[in-house]
Structure 1
């Protein structure tokens, strides 16, 4: 993706001024403050644009680019101009996405349609198209109503929430890991990830130096988060049960990696979690997709009833910690959620729906 397209797609509405409007703004500054001041203000705008682009995560930029492609497919199918975001066009876009918007001709899940709508509006505004809040709200209202109709018809789209990890599952996964470097890596990946509520990109982004041993456990510097809450130093204490202790698992894995593949793997700049092929060769650092595949493979090997995904560790920390009486703020800080995050509270609802139920004990 070019720097120009990155600037065009990065950030939310209002973060970047459409390019067509910049010369007019500079002319206004020149009349008010003089040519030199206008030039300095223009340079400050360029710096602001560069910072706005730099701080947007790559996957967010990718989402905006993908959603713009969905919008252009819709416009081509409907015979509408791309650079017009009217109320009717946005409502028609929502209806088209739910009906047939995917490449294979089937409809998107409402959550995906909502994401594409928001990103398409951002793309339009980046290109200088005025999209009113009222028109966008009308499209969202239409999406909500159509989603209700889908539910009433018994149609639930999307993958739904990932399976939640739990302590019984962790024990099964740990027991299933063979006495090999791959087995030690798998055990450390799952046990540490569970205890700091990792996303798949988190262990993939860690270097060995980001995980430090402390007298009371581990400190994991998570630097791959998208918000100020998710970038954090997560503290992982020793577990009472040595079979599922993340600290012991991490230490055993890194010690074995250096012993079998050389002392260079003790260097803090090496990847924390490495890929290992079937012959035991280290192939480099893991990436998010390989983390997701590994967790699914490990859980399948362990024979858990429903295979875990990369998000199972994150959901598991929230739900198990809540079940064990941990404070919601402490859970948020450990997992990198904003305090009172809706997604975190949704994970907790897995258990609270029964244990903290308004209808419990009334009769």
Structure 2
């Protein structure tokens, strides 16, 4: 049984507070734990449900980080858990100087931060306190300083290039919007921008999540990071080429003409511009049998359109979300409304960073001082 799943459900002894005694329960008063083996049991299904609360990408990354840490501890003859402060510091130094096979360079600061989190939470999952990370943090800070002094690109956190309206217009200018694939791609880009959706949220949409309204459409998305639904009003744009309402309506009409009236909103289209049949491997269906595209496929659409338009930068599925936040703030919209529209958590540091991209110019102390 997974220690992660168990740890999320079962508190450590130090976390259990004394309950009020009822009816003079002498056994409870004596401090003896009267739980049975059954009381400590978690079914495999419950463990799986607990672990599913974390994003699959996070679980995969943490698993890889922990496996690498375990291998290093065994090689260095060090205790894995609970780890000493010295072990943590030596391990982080190892990460800052050891090239990774994929890149032939040491991990960047953000990757090391994630690995540190993977190991500290591993301690908690096994009922131990977090290890002392003071030395490890000092090693990482020195690494950040060294990278910055060397003008190494790894010193700066990589961010997706913001897809602003001008870039979106360029991306869609070369798109053949008479085809089903072209109509899908235009709707995907414009709806992704208008809702500030993560690509995983965007591809999770079903046709039933889209409702016609006087103002255009209402689209209901499930925002997994904040675990709630948001209903976004999709309004008409001033430019027909980048109007999300017109693009979505055209795509919905094309889907209906292809016989699709329910199921996923964004679907696979084959090379002959037809709804793609279910994918199979060795006679077994793989992927979504209803033809839903994956988040990776949606991100590839955005990257291909940017490349075809000759746009430079780091284009990804997050470009639309970042572009929305940047453009909305530049237009003077309130950060709280931007956060609510995009499903950002209160106090999101990521959103604050997007705001800074605009505010550092608009709110600069240099404005209006007479230079």
Does the 8 Å CA contact 1:64/1:123 hold for their aligned counterparts?
no
Distance 1:126 1:235, change over 3 A: same
Task: Map Cα deviations across residues 257-297 of structure 1 (whole Å, 9 max, x no partner).
Answer: 221x32xx111xx1111121222232311111111111101
The whole-number CA distance in structure 1 between the counterparts of 2:78 and 2:244 is: 55
Equivalent positions of 1:254-265 (< 5 A) are 254-259=252-257, 261-262=258-259, 265=260
Q: TM-score, normalised by structure 2?
A: 0.82
For 1:302, the equivalent position in structure 2 comes to 309
Equivalent residue in structure 2 for 1:273, among 262, 266, 273: 266
List, as ranges, runs of 4+ consecutive aligned residues in structure 1 with deviation greater than 6 Å.
33-37, 43-51
The answer to whether the Cα contact below 8 Å between 1:204 and 1:291 also exists between their aligned partners in 2 is: yes
Q: Cα deviations across residues 222-242 of structure 1 (Å, max 9, x unaligned)? A: 22522246x422222221222
Superposition CA RMSD, Å: 3.2
Map of 2:28 onto structure 1: 32
Which stretch shows the higher mean deviation, 167-176 or 183-192? 167-176
Structural mapping, 1:103-122, within 5 Å: 103-104=101-102, 106-122=105-121
Asked if 1:150 corresponds to 2:147, the answer is: yes
Q: 1:249 to 1:101 in 2, by over 3 A?
A: same
User: Which residue of 1 is the match for residue 55 of structure 2?
Assistant: 57
The 1:33–1:346 alpha-carbon spacing in structure 2 relative to 1, beyond 3 Å, is same
**Structure 1 residue 341 and structure 2 residue 336: aligned?**
no
Aligned length: 343
Query: What secondary structure sits across from 2:268 in the alignment?
Result: strand
Confirm or deny: 8 A CA contact 1:17 1:126 kept in the other structure. no
Any idea what the Cα deviations from partners look like across 1:57-79, whole Å, max 9, x if unmatched?
A: 32332232122122123224433
Q: Matches of 1:99 and 1:200 in 2, distance apart?
A: 34
Contact 2:3 2:126 in 1 (8 A): no
- Listed as ranges, the gaps of 5+ residues in structure 1 are none
Using the alignment, how far apart are the partners of 2:162 and 2:312 within structure 1?
12
Identify the range of structure 1 (195-204 vs 219-228) with the bigger mean alpha-carbon deviation.
219-228
Counterpart position of 1:167:
165
1-structure distance, mates of 2:113, 2:215: 44
When residues 159 and 137 of structure 1 are mapped into structure 2, their CA distance, relative to the original with a 3 A threshold, is closer
Identify the match of residue 77 of structure 2 among 72, 76, 79: 79
Give, in angstroms, the shift of residue 318 of structure 1: 0.6
Contact 1:332 1:344 in 2 (8 A): yes
1:356 aligns with 2:352: no
**Structure 1 280/226 Cα, relative in aligned 2: closer, same or farther at 3 Å?**
same
Look up the SS of the partner of 1:232 in the other structure.
strand
Aligned-residue offset at 1:4: 2.2
CA 1:50–1:171: 2 relative to 1, 3 Å: closer
Distance 1:170 1:72, change over 3 A: same
Cα displacement string for residues 39-91 of structure 1 (whole angstroms, at most 9, x for unaligned residues): 59936988997764343332332232122122123224433232331111111
C-alpha distance in 1, partners of 2:353/2:165?
19
Distance in 2, Cα, partners of 1:200 & 1:275:
15
Contact kept, 8 Å, 1:322 with 1:328, in 2: the verdict is yes
Q: 1:227 to 1:175 in 2, by over 3 A?
A: same
Rounded Cα–Cα distance in structure 2 between residues aligned with 1:224 and 1:30: 48
State whether residues 74 and 101 of structure 1, in contact with CA within 8 Å, keep that contact through their aligned partners in structure 2: no
Select which of 328, 331, 348 maps to 1:324. Answer: 331
Q: Aligned runs of 1:193-208 on 2, under 5 Å?
A: 193-208=192-207
Alignment of 1:3-42 (within 5 A): 4=2, 7=5, 16-17=10-11, 31-32=27-28, 38-39=35-36, 42=39
Distance in structure 1 (CA, Å) of the matches to 2:347 and 2:14: 39
CA contact (8 A) 2:93 2:136 kept: no
Structure richer in helix, relative to its length: 1
